[in-house]
Every structure is written in structure tokens, then in C-alpha cells.
Structure 1
Amino acid sequence: MSKPSLRVTQGRFELKNKPLSVIDYTGHISGMDKSDQLLSYCPLNCKSVKWWKKPFFHLLTLSLIQSHILSNKYGKIKGQQIQPLDIFVKAVIKGWVDACAPECPAIGPLTTLDRLNGKHFVTYVPSPPEKTTTSYRNCKVCYDKALKAGKSPKAKRKQIKFWCNKCSVALFLEPCFKLFHTKRDYTV
């Protein structure tokens, strides 16, 4: 709490008398202004049946923005490079997934490294209930290799009828099935 006194400050063109409380407020509010500005870039105007979703995602977004501001503020002191908000949020979410992965089977084997453990067997891709669609799929390893090489995966489509039932991923028997289940980076 400031004392009710005035202080002379330099305005844009002339000297002005300002209350000490106003000077303290403008000196310490810069983080909140930045937070409000960044929060306005991520509006959550989604209509939802569940009432709690809007405040939950608002608070989640607000906490991510506040942590981004603090990370950049203290990163500058340590001499680290300032990160943009989107890269910071991706890094935080990746950290959450990596921390949660061993305990969360709901995330699925493709986001974790469960594909490297356990018993995996080749089966046929299950036929869809509609007869109009085909049960052939793209090989995951070949598709990801084409993407990594910068080629269009649709240019040379390799569709097959085999997949790993545990991972729910279509794979050629040789060499893709072995690569996918034994190497961390199977696109090399």
C-alpha cells in the first residue's frame, strides 16, 4: 500500500504529477498486460454442454501463458534464448506425455514406446462393416519414411492387408514389422 503522495514523472511532452499508487501499479502490471494480450490470441469461445469445460480450459491456458512469461523472464537472467509461446506449450505437453506415459495406457502405443515391448503378432486388417470401403491400409513405416524424406506419401502408395493387432498399425511383413517393433526411430 502506497502513501497518498504525488511524485513528479516525465510525461510524453512535459513533467506530470502522478500519485505514487499509480506509479507502483504501472511498474508492476506489465506481466499481467502481457498475459492478457497472449490470452486474447487463444480465445475459448467453444459452446459446450458441460459447464466446467470453458473455465477449465481457460485456467489451463492462463497457467501455460503465465509459466511461459516466467520462463522467459528468468531465462533472460540465466542467458537463455526466449522461446515463442507455441514452442513452449509443445515442450510442456511433451513433458506431460513423457511423464505420464508409463502409467497411462489410454494414451496408446503410438505416442509411447510400448511398440518396443511385449508380444506383437501380425494379423489381417479387419474388414469394415460396409462393403463399399476397402480393408487395405498404408504401411506406417513406408508412409513415415516418405514424409521424412520430403516426398508425397500419396505418390507411391504402398497399401497392404496386414497389421499389428496390438498397435493397430498396418505394416509390411518384411522389413517394416521388425523395424517398427525394434527401433526407436524406425524411419532411419
Structure 2
Amino acid sequence: MINPSLFGDGRVWGYGYFKGANGTGCYNTVCPGFVQVSKRDLISGPLPEAPEGKRNIGSNFQQDKKTGNWWVSDIKNVGKDIHIGYWPKELFDVISDGVNIVGVGGVVKTSPSGQSPPMGNAHRPTEEDKDDMASARVRDLLVIDSSYKFKRSKRSKLEYLLDNDKCYGLIKGKEHLFLFGGKGGDSC
């Protein structure tokens, strides 16, 4: 997310947001709710610049079956995953015992000047991109069933939505879940 009013700068930041009981919610730790447990990996922070094709962010969101709390973890390719923190189950009125819909996506908001920011890595995906890492992508979306076992989501149950194809693109990939992005600009 790029949000100067929240973060104080124009960099890309990772973030967490919850919306719970009575429609209340909050970003990161701005209001009481999220319990940060890792001193090294934070729920929110600026994302480092990385060479094209070298950035990979893996996250895991799951409900602890003993406490009912909703944990977020940083998935590491090498070494142990890092538990970042959790949202207590009491914050939520409709997901106290699991969920039946999962949403993944990106949102951009036009500035007062009319400029829309880049989305993803600012590369609009093309059909030729389906097998490479030119665009931002979401892949390997797994869900945890009622037995707490990981399963791949079924493609037939996925919905894809792009509400502005003038400045941004969205393509269903082969082994990827989807590719997305675009440079933004005027009149998006």
C-alpha cells in the first residue's frame, strides 16, 4: 500500500487490516486489536526495493484451533516461518469459527490531483507473461479445511474482478493463481 496520510511517506508498505464486530476496524496497530509478537517482523513496514523477479512475499493467515485467534505469519523459503502476531477472536463477530470465503487482491485510490498510483510492480501483465515473473502475482493460495489440513483452492470456485482495464491488467495464469498490475496514470 502507498498511503502518505497513514505512513507519512510515498513508499510501498506491507500492512494488515481487520474489520470486526459492528463494522469497526483498523490498520496495523493504530488502534487496539492486533497483538504484535515478533520483534523482527512487523505487521506493517516499508517493503524493500529488490531486483525484478527477486521479491517474494509469503504470508499465512489462519485461525488457531485451540485459542480461536487469527494468526499472521511470514512464510520463509529457508528456515522456520515467523509468527508476526494475531488478532484476538473477540474482535470478530462473523468469523469466530472459521470462514467460507477468502479474498486476495489489490486496491488503488486516485490522488486528489487525479493521478492513479502504480499497482503491483507497475507492469501490466500480458498473455506472454503467464509463465514468467514480469508482473506482480498471487500464487499457491492454500486454504485450511475444517480438519486443519492445507488444500489448494479449486479454480472452479475462484472469481476474478478487474474494475478498471484502462490502467491495470489482470490475467489468469497457468500455475499462478493470477497476474496483475499496471502503471496507473491520469483518468484511471
Same fold (TM over 0.5): no
| TM-score with structure 2 setting the length | 0.18
Greater per-residue helix proportion: 1
| TM-score with structure 1 setting the length | 0.18
Greater per-residue strand proportion: 2
